[in-house]
């Protein structure tokens, strides 16, 4: 006997309830008829029913909400109405049937969802990537590498490195998307002189949650900041961090990588995820963007200041980074100058961290201040400065080789030991 929790529109609900009740030996029963998403989620969390059958058009249902239902341990079958058939949206659910499906078709879908089986055998009930179908695989652009720029607390210069590194990659001919994924202190729009700042990351996550994040939507959210450099602006007001969910972010990274080139993400310093200590349900995570980017990144650049406090903070985060799947990092030491020289700092970091490379950026506060006041990049305000040259060399070392469709080079980045 299959116990069904049903949340459907009036006409479909009446028909399904009638068919289940009158169907001879159907082997199923409706144990709860829910009026909305909130009730459905609560019933699933309480462990009632074997499967949730829910209309994909229910108000508030998106990919995050669908994922929450699955996390409750209940199988889920989506009902696609005639109106939703045009978009073919599934909100990430593997098991979806037309709302007009016959009772045998619906029960077969319920059995598949409960058994976790698809047409090709055992599968996960959740699809993170909204695929285009097997016929499109041959023409799909190879995934662009994701480069995450992170650093411990204390303002070591993460955003400055991320913005200028992305600009150097773009100027060298690689299509580059720069993402402001710092949910604590977003700043890239202002650094690049973008006056009409809109919360691009929030809009992208909202579209991903609704399963509408396609190429056209992404193009509209990625204005050109400089030549081949495109910007996905941050959340704008830091208080909007709760609108950025990790499940949606994972889809945003997938969509951005599908454009080819390279994706550079500037993420915040905090890496803890202690929201579960304050909530008894699935809670939003302030650091979801950083956790998502670091766990999915092909390359991680860790930015630290040339002082013992910043380097110690990086060393103390090593275990946490390992938990996120980060292996060897490319360490960028910012503001190198007396009394610490490049050789001494490089030796110190090599002795404490499994770094793929160590790049030292010379101290040049006046150049950085001028760029900040002008809302411009170093290539525009100080193209011949030692700092700009060091970042250009780092970009050249990290730039994807042309003959692999934009993939990240497997060789470690070339070390630059430039004294201030």
Summarize pLDDT for 250-283 with one digit per residue, the tens.
Answer: 889 999 999 999 999 999 999 987 655 445 455 6
**pLDDT value at residue 212:** 85
The secondary structure of 135-187 as a DSSP string is GGGGGSPPPPPEEEEE--SS--SHHHHHHHHHHHHHHTT--EEEEEE-SSS--
Ranked by mean pLDDT, which of 240-249, 252-261, 411-420 comes out on top? Answer: 252-261
Report whether CATH 1.10.10.410 matches the domain 2-114: no
> Mean of the pLDDT values across residues 293-311?
95
Does residue 129 register a pLDDT over 70?
no
Lowest mean pLDDT among 89-93, 99-103, 124-128, 369-373: 124-128
pTM more than 0.85:
no
- Which one is predicted more confidently, 132 or 25? 25
Domain range 146-272+285-398, CATH architecture:
3-Layer(aba) Sandwich (3.40)
24 pLDDT band (50/70/90 cuts)? low
Lowest mean pLDDT among 191-195, 304-308, 327-331, 410-414: 410-414
- Which one is predicted more confidently, 410 or 306? 306
26's tokens: 């159907």
Does residue 174 register a pLDDT over 90?
yes
- The β-bridge partners of 52 are 5, 76
Q: How many CB atoms lie within 10 A of CB 29?
A: 13
Rounded Cα distance between 139 and 369, Å, is: 45
370's tokens: 């001028």
Average pLDDT over the chain reads 84
199 pLDDT band (50/70/90 cuts)? confident
> Mean of the pLDDT values across residues 207-222?
89
417 pLDDT band (50/70/90 cuts)? very low
**pLDDT value at residue 140:** 59
The secondary structure of 47-108 as a DSSP string is T--SEEEEETTSTT--HHHHHHHHHTT-EEEEEE-TTGGGTT--TTBS-EEETT--HHHHHH
Strand intervals (E) in 201-242: 224-226, 229-232
Does residue 402 register a pLDDT over 80?
no
Does residue 231 register a pLDDT over 90?
yes
**pLDDT value at residue 63:** 82
Phi, psi of 29 (to 5 degrees): -150, 150
**pLDDT value at residue 209:** 85
Provide the residue ranges of all domains of the chain, joining segments of one domain with +: 2-114, 146-272+285-398
How far, CA to CA in Å, does 55 sit from each of 6, 118, 310, 406? 9, 20, 51, 40
Lowest mean pLDDT among 159-163, 248-252, 263-267, 392-396: 248-252
Does residue 150 register a pLDDT over 90?
yes
DSSP-derived 3-state class of residue 214: coil
Lowest mean pLDDT among 81-85, 219-223, 241-245, 269-273: 81-85
- Give percent of the chain above pLDDT 90: 56
Do domains 2-114 and 146-272+285-398 share one topology? The answer is yes
- Give percent of the chain above pLDDT 70: 84
Does residue 131 register a pLDDT over 70?
no
197 pLDDT band (50/70/90 cuts)? low
């Amino acid at each position: 006997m299959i116990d069904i929790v049903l949340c459907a529109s009036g006409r479909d609900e009446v028909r399904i309830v009638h068919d289940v009740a009158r169907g001879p030996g159907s082997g199923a029963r409706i144990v709860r008829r829910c009026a909305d998403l909130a009730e459905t989620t609560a019933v699933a969390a309480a462990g009632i029913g074997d499967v949730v059958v829910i209309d994909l058009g229910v108000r508030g249902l998106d990919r995050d909400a669908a994922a929450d239902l699955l996390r409750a341990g209940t199988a889920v079958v989506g009902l696609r109405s005639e109106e939703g058939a045009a978009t073919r949206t599934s909100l990430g659910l593997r098991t979806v049937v037309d709302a007009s499906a016959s009772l045998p078709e619906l029960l077969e879908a319920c059995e598949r969802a409960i058994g976790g089986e698809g047409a090709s055998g055992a599968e996960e009930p959740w699809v993170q990537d909204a695929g285009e179908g097997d016929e499109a695989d041959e023409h799909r652009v190879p995934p662009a590498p994701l480069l995450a720029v992170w650093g411990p607390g204390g303002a070591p210069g993460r955003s400055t490195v991320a913005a200028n590194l992305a600009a150097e990659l773009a100027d060298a001919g690689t299509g580059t998307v720069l993402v402001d994924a710092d949910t604590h202190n977003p700043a890239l729009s202002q650094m690049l002189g973008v006056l009409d700042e809109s919360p691009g990351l929030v809009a992208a996550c909202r579209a991903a949650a609704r399963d509408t994040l396609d190429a056209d939507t992404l193009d509209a959210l990625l204005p050109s900041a400089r030549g081949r450099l495109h910007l996905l602006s941050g959340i704008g007001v830091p208080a909007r961090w709760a609108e950025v969910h990790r499940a949606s972010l994972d889809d945003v990274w997938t969509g951005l990588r599908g454009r080819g080139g390279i994706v550079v993400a500037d993420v915040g310093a905090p890496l803890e995820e202690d929201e579960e200590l304050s909530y008894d349900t699935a809670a939003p995570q302030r650091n979801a963007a950083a956790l998502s980017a670091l766990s999915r990144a092909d390359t991680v650049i860790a930015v630290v200041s040339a002082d013992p406090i910043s380097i110690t903070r990086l060393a103390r985060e090593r275990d946490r980074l390992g938990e996120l799947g980060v292996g060897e990092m490319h360490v960028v030491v910012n503001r190198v100058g007396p009394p610490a020289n490049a050789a001494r700092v490089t030796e110190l970091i090599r002795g404490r961290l499994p770094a793929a490379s160590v790049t030292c950026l010379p101290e040049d506060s006046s150049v950085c201040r001028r760029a900040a006041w002008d809302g411009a990049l170093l290539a525009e305000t100080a193209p011949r400065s030692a700092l700009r040259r060091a970042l250009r060399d780092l970009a050249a070392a990290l730039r994807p080789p042309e003959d692999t469709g934009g993939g990240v080079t497997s060789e470690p980045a070339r070390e630059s030991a430039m004294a201030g």
